[in-house]
C-alpha cells in the first residue's frame, strides 16, 4: 500500500520510508504525489496539528496520509514552546529560536524538558491511527554539537552528558521522541493492516 507523507521534509521522508518499508509500505512525499500546498497548523496540540496535516493530504489525494508534529516542552516555561516550537517567538531560524529559548529560561535551576512527537494517519474511509513518543532531557546553558537540527544542540539526554546534536544519527533514532513515535506507529499500522 502507498502512503502520502504530509510533508516535503527530506529527513522525515527518509525516516518514514525506512520504518514502514518492513511492512511493505511505499511512502512518497506530498509534492511527489502532486499536492503542492501546506496545511495551516491551527491546532493547539501536537495531535491536532498532525491530524490537520494528514487529513488535508488525504482529502486532496484520496490516499492514506501520514503526518507528524513535534516539538519541545520546557517545564519552567509552562510547556512552551510546545506546539509552537517551529514558530517560537516569530523567529525565522533554528539558531534564533534556540537563542530565544535560552534567554527566556535565563538562569532558572529547573532545566527539565521533553521532546514530543505525534504521528497521525488518516485513511480515505475515515479511519485514523495516532501514536505518540516522548524523550526526557535537560536544557543546557549553551548549544553543543554539530548534528541534528531545531533544539537538538541545547537538549541534553540524562546520564549521557551529550546533547542530541552530539549523537550519531543511529544513536539519536534509538532514543528520540520521533523514533519512539515511529515504533509505536509501526505496531499500530501492522495491527490495522492485519485486521483489514
Provide the annotated active-site residues.
69
C-alpha cell at 55: 487529513
Measuring CA to CA, how many Å separate 89 from each of 39, 53, 145? 20, 22, 24
Residue 150 DSSP label: T
Q: Is 191 helix (H, G, I), strand (E, B) or coil?
A: helix
Cα 155 off chain centre by:
15
User: Cell numbers 509501526 correspond to what residue?
Assistant: 186
Helix residue spans in 42-89 (DSSP H): 46-61
Rounded Cα–Cα distance for residues 169 and 176 (Å): 10
Strands 128-139 and 112-122 come out as: antiparallel
How buried is residue 106: exposed, middle or buried, by Cβ count under 10 Å (0-12/13-18/19+)? exposed
Burial 109-123 (b: 16+ CB within 10 A, else e): eebebbbbbbbbbbb
Amino acid at each position: 500500500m502507498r502512503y502520502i507523507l504530509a510533508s516535503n521534509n527530506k529527513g522525515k521522508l527518509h525516516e518514514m520510508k525506512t520504518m514502514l518499508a518492513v511492512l511493505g509500505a511505499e511512502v512518497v512525499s506530498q509534492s511527489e504525489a502532486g499536492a503542492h500546498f501546506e496545511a495551516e497548523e491551527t491546532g493547539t496540540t501536537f495531535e491536532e496539528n498532525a491530524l490537520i496535516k494528514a487529513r488535508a493530504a488525504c482529502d486532496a489525494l484520496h490516499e492514506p496520509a501520514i503526518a507528524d508534529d513535534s516539538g519541545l516542552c520546557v517545564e519552567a516555561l509552562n510547556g512552551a514552546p510546545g506546539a509552537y516550537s517551529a514558530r517560537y517567538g516569530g523567529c525565522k531560524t533554528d539558531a534564533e529560536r534556540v537563542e530565544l529559548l535560552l534567554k527566556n529560561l535565563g538562569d532558572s535551576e529547573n532545566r527539565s524538558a521533553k521532546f514530543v512527537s505525534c504521528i497521525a494517519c488518516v485513511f480515505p474511509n475515515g479511519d485514523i491511527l495516532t501514536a505518540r513518543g516522548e524523550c526526557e532531557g535537560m536544557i543546557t546553558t549553551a548549544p553543543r554539537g554539530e548534528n541534528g537540527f531545531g533544539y537538538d544542540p541545547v537538549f541534553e539526554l540524562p546520564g549521557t552528558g551529550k546533547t542530541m546534536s552530539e549523537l550519531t544519527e543511529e544513536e539519536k533514532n534509538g532514543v528520540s521522541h520521533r523514533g519512539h513515535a515511529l515504533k509505536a506507529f509501526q505496531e499500530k499500522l501492522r495491527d490495522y493492516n492485519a485486521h483489514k
